[in-house]
Structure 1
Amino acid sequence: MKDIIVAKRDGIARVALNRSSARNAVTLAMWRELADIFSHFACDRDVRAVLLAGEGKDFSVGADISEFDSIRDDKRQAADYEVAVDACSGAIAALGKPVVAVISGYCLGGGCHLALACDFRFGDRTATIGIPSAKLSIVYGVRSVQRLLSLTGVANAKRILYSADRYRAEQAMSMGLIDEIHDDAPRAAERFLKQLADNAPLSIAGAKYMLNELSTGAGSLDLAMAQQFIDAASDSEDFREGRRAFAEKRAPRFRGA
């Protein structure tokens, strides 16, 4: 049985962590596979948006600590492990397409790491989010701390990281960890992604790049790269299609080129 399931329909890819018996704990092999999956989505024009979820009752309890004795036993192994984790979250964050994490049950530690890398987080009322690194003597990775800070602000980020507490859906939303709460979060997320998938892919890719870079702090935006996104959209067939559709009073048919 595969630990990660990928299904595609109507322009939306659904990526599901598939270790429900282990509450979808993420192994080192899964971090690496997720990085590959999201990297390949960048080249797949049939994928316009992505939904990331967990099979069963939980999104993910985080990294599979049961394998730490063999793969993360000292600072060298820990550094190698963090490279794989950062490559995974980096691939999710860098994908120039909308990504929504659908959170139910536990979303802890490494699971939160995955959710933070997504553009949006939709939860149901069973969602419980937390980062227990302070109870494991682990310092959360720099990029994930940056994402946490940009979403929650410094006071809440400190509370989350210092306390290692768990937060139920309503409190998590008030802190910025969840964007929306729904009784049927997967359906709400799919409906939202279908709406976004109809918009111009080049516009979304450019906006995502700039917002992600700007949110990590002043001076981090590569202005030349941002201009490349602007120029690519301005010189695209989609831009011409958008103008035609506006003039003809119809919905545009964007192709991402």
Structure 2
Amino acid sequence: MEEIRIERRGSVTHVILDRPAVKNAVTLAMWRELAAIFAGFAGDQDVRGVVLRGSGKDFSVGADISEFEEIRDDRHQSAAYEVAVDACSGAIAAVGKPVVAAISGYCLGGGCHLALACDFRFGDRTATMGIPSAKLSIVYGVHSVQRLLAIAGVSNAKRVLYSADRYPADRAHSMGLIDELHENAALAAEKFLERLAANAPLSISGAKYMLNGLSMGPGALDLAAAQRLIDAASDSADFKEGRQAFAEKRPPRFRGK
């Protein structure tokens, strides 16, 4: 769709929210399309990492509130909307590749939700983060709140959700909402992912699955599925390649198999 661009740069793919005229506000159709895009990366061995960013000066001001009267007018529509939002963040969290949100300008509400679903958040000095749900009488969904809690801690999560304040880059960094600050967040994210691309994809995907599951609270991690990932890595050609490369004192050539 026209509102989302995909740029492939070697092993790293950029997913770009492309509505700069409205500060990359996310429509319901975009939530659904983003879910499909990230789900599609799962089987693509050429994609070793993903940068999620906005076009222009902003990451995203969040959900496109202008369409709420038609698509989120009552509890039933709100529930359906939350299903789409959770499916999107779930697809980002589930893809077995590292994902970095590169944040410039506004990263608010649903935009913050997208960033929290990523593995890492790199920001520049213009980054401003916040969740204004308390100014709209919206109670954030359980999965969204759990991610915020896991990343920022209970006190900061309460501050973010109770106050609806906006936090500049330095404050967001100190609260844990931003992992690293850079002059060019997108470039820093790309270089970071290029470095990770030299490591074993099965190791990264297995670690991501377990860490995300454990961070989402008791019972969220499927232990049988985690064991299958451990076993698959142990039986993989990459594991043999890693051992052989270590013995031969050379960089390993991992293929994700």
The AA in structure 2 aligned to 1:182 is H
Does residue 136 of structure 2 align to residue 104 of structure 1? no
- Distance apart, 1:218 and its partner CA: 3.0
Match of 1:118 in 2: 118
Q: Are 2:126 and 1:129 aligned? A: no
Structure 2 Cα separation of the partners of residues 80 and 56 of structure 1? 30
Structure 1 residue 162, shift from structure 2 partner: 0.3
1:51 aligned partner = 51
Tell me what 2:20 maps to.
Answer: 20
Work out the CA distance in 2 between the residues paired with 1:112 and 1:195: 26
Offset, 1:83: 0.6
Matches within 5 A, 1:211-222: 211-222=211-222
- How many Å apart are 1:219 and its aligned residue? 3.4
Q: Which runs of 5+ in 2 are unaligned?
A: none
Aligned ranges 1:104-183 → 2 under 5 Å: 104-183=104-183
Report the counterpart of residue 31 of structure 2 in structure 1.
31
Give the Cα separation in 2 of the matches to 1:185 and 1:207.
Answer: 24
Per the alignment, residue 4 of structure 2 pairs with: 4
Q: Secondary structure at the match of 1:122?
A: strand
Aligned-pair RMSD on alpha carbons? Answer: 0.8
- Give runs of aligned pairs for residues 159-238 of structure 1, distance below 5 A: 159-238=159-238
In terms of mean alpha carbon deviation, does 216-225 or 2-11 score higher? 216-225
Q: Which amino acid aligns with 2:235?
A: D
SS in 2 for 1:53: strand
Instruction: Tell me, in whole angstroms, the C-alpha distance in 1 between the residues paired with 2:221 and 2:69.
Output: 39
Q: Kindly, what percent of the aligned residue pairs are identical?
A: 74
Taking the aligned partners of 1:81 and 1:202, their CA distance within structure 2 comes to 33
* Partner residue in 2 for 1:251: 251
Shift of 1:132: 0.1
Work out the CA distance in 1 between the residues paired with 2:208 and 2:78.
30
Q: Secondary structure at the match of 1:8?
A: strand
Q: Deviations 1:46-68 (Å, cap 9, x if unpaired)?
A: 11100000000000000000000
Aligned residues: 257
Which TM-score applies when normalising by structure 1? Answer: 0.99
5+ residue gaps, structure 1: none
Q: TM-score, normalised by structure 2?
A: 0.99
